[in-house]
A and B are shown apart, each in its own frame.
Chain A
């Protein structure tokens, strides 16, 4: 069987990318922005999506940047998870990104691709949900900056023709206490029952979750419960799970009840680590 045609475009500027995307959309080609491409190729093979054209954003310099500038760190959306771990600018992001998929796949999976994924599992977004980060967004007018917290609500909230160019955050976050856990039912390389990234500022633990529900989430009520220092770790963890405002997934990897159980004991361990225990 012949594979349907999928045209390929590789622009070198943001404006060129958005203009090309708009023109392809207008011509009825159902375009998609392309970064690592693993999810598009997989879903296309399964006949879940039929992009008639892809716009590869990796040729845009701002998408490929990965650097410390003054007081900030900037991570281009086209940087691979392997490159993020290799550079290790932000230990929490390193720890989280380094548990996505397998080593070879992380050479190809990009930060932007993971965050923009349609799968429930988007671990690379978790650290960004815990800090005040700025998103660089590719628009028809060029690059615009927006607070990341306004841009991500379970999934990226962007206009159809916009795309994530880069994420920027203060270098200060690299010194926060942190921990990141990916819990699988079996096998090191697998989709998670739950992935939790957590950090602590002066008195407050902040946690973000992926794999537990259909979309990544964090919640102030969960953070408040986790931070009640007068309560034992296990009690806080139990109450935190009770406070989760999302329905737990029940699938081949684990039932909802099992996910809650695993989340609870993982949270107890995370609190212990962040408060100076072993």
Chain B
């Protein structure tokens, strides 16, 4: 039985790299990613209540709000953050379509869109809307975000 009662050295697979890091059992995945040991600040602390989606990362191909996930639960999973999507289609399309204003929510939207394209062979407006509803943009730049996701879907061959 896995039993963690204090500081614990875990093995984490983040953006294709395997890292050994010390975590406490109550640490969230968000705090692990943003902490000094990893220093990946792409996942943003927003509501820290599972509502806003700014902290979204992808675990084994599925989107997860990292503020709602314990770090110790994330061992032995493939963790992808927005830093792991550097120079890939979804963030490129967000830039092309100006799908950001203040940018705080952007990484969360990018990760949700990335996960949607991994899990959906053919997207449509309803599917995109349903996946993107998990995230909040306080600048209300939803139209451009929707367009960027469509463009990424078409570029990857997930369009209809």
User: Do these two chains really belong together in a complex?
Assistant: yes
Q: Which residues of A contact B (CB under 8 A)?
A: 3-12, 16, 20, 37-38, 41-42, 45, 53, 56, 59, 82, 101-105, 107-108, 188-189
Minimum CB–CB distance from B135 to chain A (whole Å) comes to 8
Contact check, B133 vs A188: say whether CB atoms are below 8 A apart.
Answer: yes
* Residues in B whose Cβ lies below 8 Å from that of A103: 63, 112, 130-131, 133-134
- The number of A-B residue pairs with CB atoms under 8 Å apart is 89
A11 to B1, CA, bound (A): 5
A87 smallest CB distance to B (angstroms): 14
8 Å CB interface, B1-49 against A: 1-6, 24-28, 48-49
- Please indicate the chain A residues that have their CB under 8 angstroms from the CB of B63 in the complex: 103-104, 107
Asked if A9 meets B134 with Cβ closer than 8 Å, knowing A105-B50, A108-B64, A108-B68, the reply is no
- Does residue B87 face the partner (Cβ distance < 8 Å to A)? no
Provide the residues of chain A in CB contact with B64, threshold 8 Å.
Answer: 104, 107-108
Given known contacts A8-B70, A9-B1, A105 and B134 CB-to-CB distance under 8 angstroms: yes
Given contacts A102-B134, A103-B130, 17 further A-B contacts (CB under 8 A): A3-B24, A4-B26, A5-B5, A5-B24, A6-B25, A7-B6, A8-B25, A16-B1, A38-B68, A41-B67, A41-B68, A41-B70, A59-B2, A105-B50, A105-B134, A189-B133, A189-B134
Q: Across the interface, name the chain B residue whose C-beta is closest to A187.
A: B133
Most buried by B among A10, A56, A59, A104: A104
Residues A7 and B4 in contact in the complex (CB < 8 Å), given A103-B130, A104-B65: yes
Q: Which chain A residue has the least Cβ–Cβ distance from B27?
A: A3
Contacts of A101 in B (CB 8 A): 50
Closest 3 CB pairs of A and B: A104-B134, A8-B25, A10-B2
| Cα distance, A252 to B133, chains bound together (Å) | 21
A125 to B115, CA, bound (A): 28
